[in-house]
Amino acid sequence: MAGGMTYTAADSVNFSTAEYYGKVLVELGAEHPEIVALTADLGKSTKIGMFGQAYPDRFFNVGIAEQNMFGMAAGMAKAGLVPFLSTFSVFASLRSADQLQTDICYQNVNAKIIATHAGTSFGQAGSTHHAINDMAVARAMPNLTVICPADGMETVNAVRAAYETPGPFYIRINRGFDRVLYPSSDYGFEVGKAVTLKEGTDLTIIACGSCAFQALQAANFLENADGLKVRVLNMHTIKPIDREAILKAVSDTRRIITVEDHNVVGGLGSAVAEVVIESGKGCAFKQLGIPDQFAPIGLHEDIMSILGIDSNGIIDAVREVMGKDFELDDDWDDEV
């Protein structure tokens, strides 16, 4: 566990997820003079501006120019600084994707991208401001660690871990207030290790970001209503993915549902599917997320409901998968 203060869920009434990020970055900045911060006119929105207020000489607002920001960060990292960059996820992953890949990942520099307004969390802004494929883009870039924290507590841990771990990081956090999953930041976060939120043997839900809270709610409901034992994994690290936890879920529960606020193409569900398929061990599998279309406009919780990635949608999906007799298939001859 990294240094710094332990945050508790009580603070979550006051702080949005991004505010936790801002606070932790200010803490880190006090301890580590080599940390610098860059933003592209989103100091207030992403809360990286809190660092700028504390350490104006180490803060660079480049204006609305993301490509330059990523290049500058690479140059700063090459010179020995540890740059943190913040803009909206959709811009961090697409507008400056060439710089993210070439300047940051190819050179394998020690730069940390904390991208806010992830998924559909800036719902009313519409598709120009939804990040529906940032994890797909980031996951396909060698050297890049990709994390999607579930709430403010996990963001605290992820940001600290990013500082402590050499190499480039992409952390996507939501706009606004997340539902609180963890009572405290002191729960044993480790990059690349899924957190088991609930044990179960009937089915495993693997979720990330704000969907982790929804998955846990769904599992608790199903235990009471249907008597189902549903395991819930918070797969906060999308890359490197926790293969061990996935394979254990395959063998223990034989049914997996993935849930993410992201296109079903290329994100958490795809990453889990790759591990399952390569294992050669079959299991029932269903992906919940944005079904390869642009998401509707609306409040984040409404969009999650429409997409079926809230607890109600997850409950429906679990019942559907539990109802499938996936082991019997007349067209399948496993003697061949």
Span interacting with other proteins, options 67-75, 118-126, 274-282, 313-321, rule CB under 8 A: 67-75
Instruction: Give which of 311, 247, 322 is closest to 286, Cα–Cα.
Output: 322
Residue 83 CB, nearest distance to other proteins (Å)?
8
Give the nearer residue to other proteins in terms of CB position, either 107 or 165.
Answer: 107
Q: What residues have CB less than 8 Å from 238, skipping those under 6 apart?
A: 135, 138, 139, 146, 147, 148, 208, 267, 268, 271
Asked whether the CA dihedral 172, 309, 154, 195 is positive or negative, the reply is negative
**Shortest gap between Cβ of 63 and other proteins (angstroms)?**
7
Segment contacting other proteins by CB under 8 A, of 1-9, 59-67, 149-157, 292-300: 59-67
DSSP secondary structure, 11-35, as one string: GGGT--HHHHHHHHHHHHHHH-TTE
Q: Which two tokens stand for residue 171?
A: 């952390």
Site string for other proteins, 27-56 (x = CB under 8 A): -------x-x--------------------
Longest Cα separation, the chain: 69
Please report whether residue 240 would count as binding other proteins according to CB under 8 A. Answer: no
Contacts with other proteins, 78-97, as mask; x by CB under 8 A? xxxx-x--------------
**Backbone phi, then psi, for 14, in 5-degree steps?**
-95, -30
How far is it, in rounded angstroms, from Cα 111 to Cα 248? 33
Q: At closest approach, how far in Å is the CB of 317 from other proteins?
A: 42
Please give the full DSSP string across 161-193, using - where no structure is assigned.
HHHHS-S-EEEE--SSPPPP--SBS-S---TT-
Retrieve residue 297's tokens: 């406009």
The answer to the question of residue 140 lying near other proteins (CB under 8 A) is no
- Selected range binding other proteins among 71-79, 182-190, 200-208, 279-287, rule: CB under 8 A: 71-79
Smallest gap from Cβ 79 to other proteins, in A, equals 4
Which member of 18, 28, 48, 62 binds other proteins (CB under 8 A)?
62
Which of 6, 10, 30, 63 is close enough to bind other proteins by CB under 8 A? 63
Q: Considering the rule CB under 8 A, would residue 110 count as an interface residue with other proteins?
A: no
Q: What are the helix (H) ranges across 199-242?
A: 211-226
DSSP 281-333: ---EEEEEEE-SSPPPPS-HHHHHHHHT-SHHHHHHHHHHHHT--TT--TT--
Q: How many residues bind other proteins (CB under 8 A)?
A: 31
Interaction between residue 312 and other proteins (CB under 8 A): no
Q: Is 60 in the site for other proteins (CB under 8 A)?
A: yes
Note the residues at the interface with other proteins (CB under 8 A): 34, 36, 57-58, 60, 62-63, 65, 67-81, 83, 98-99, 102-103, 106-108
